[in-house]
Amino acid sequence: PINIAKKLPINSNTISTIFTSHVIEHLHKKEIIIFLKESFRVLKPGGKNIILTPSLDKIINILYVNKDIDSKNKLLERQKKWAKENEINSCSYINGLFRNYGHRFIVNFEFLKNEAEKIGYTKINIVKNDEIPDIEINNYIKNYKNDYGWNLETESYILEK
């Protein structure tokens, strides 16, 4: 295993694609920044760092802003798999997101964009979970991660060197 919160044991400018799925939320903020810097270092020019992670923006919009009750209920229902409580509501979901599963820092687009720009990434985008420009990653998502609740909470970010 490679500790992505430290200097990566990979030569500079040698990797075309880096892919993580539900990983960076287990790092502290400063470790996420180290990972972003190290990913930038090892990526070839034009290389992509593809990050799938729970999105603070998506979750807050579903739970508190949008009026889509069906999506809210599906998101809360999915949480019951891991919750130690019988009843899940928006408050317990948000608290669980930050306190359970080894999560340390939940990102949003604003955070990733600001940090990626400081590091030197040239393009920072959000794409739909099923529209990632890599066939192997799309097949992985289709076969292993394609449930409605997972898609509700997960954002796909592409950072390009």
- For 109, the 3-state DSSP assignment is helix
Give pLDDT tens digits for 9-18.
Answer: 999 999 999 9
pLDDT per residue as tens, the chain (161 positions): 889 999 999 999 999 999 999 999 999 999 999 999 999 999 999 999 999 999 999 999 999 999 899 999 988 888 777 776 677 889 888 888 887 788 999 999 999 999 999 999 999 999 999 899 999 999 999 998 878 888 999 999 999 99
Position 100 scores a pLDDT of: 78
| pTM for this entry | 0.93
Q: Using CA atoms, how far apart are residues 11 and 24, in angstroms rounded to an integer?
A: 22
Task: Return the pLDDT at 64.
Answer: 94
Q: In what order do the strands lie in the sheet with 154-160?
A: 15-21, 43-54, 154-160, 123-127
Q: What per-residue confidence (pLDDT) applies to 140?
A: 92
pLDDT digits (tens, 9 = 90+) for 125-134: 999 998 999 9
pLDDT in tens, 19-39: 999 999 999 999 999 999 999
Q: Are strands 154-160 and 123-127 parallel, antiparallel or unpaired?
A: antiparallel
Return phi, psi of residue 45, to 5°: -55, 130
- Contacts of 41 by beta carbon, 8 Å cutoff, 6+ apart: 8, 12, 13
Give me 11's structure tokens: 């030569």
Give yes or no for a contact between 62 and 160, defined as CB atoms under 8 angstroms apart: no
CA distances to 10, 136, 142 from 129, rounded to whole Å, are 28, 13, 9
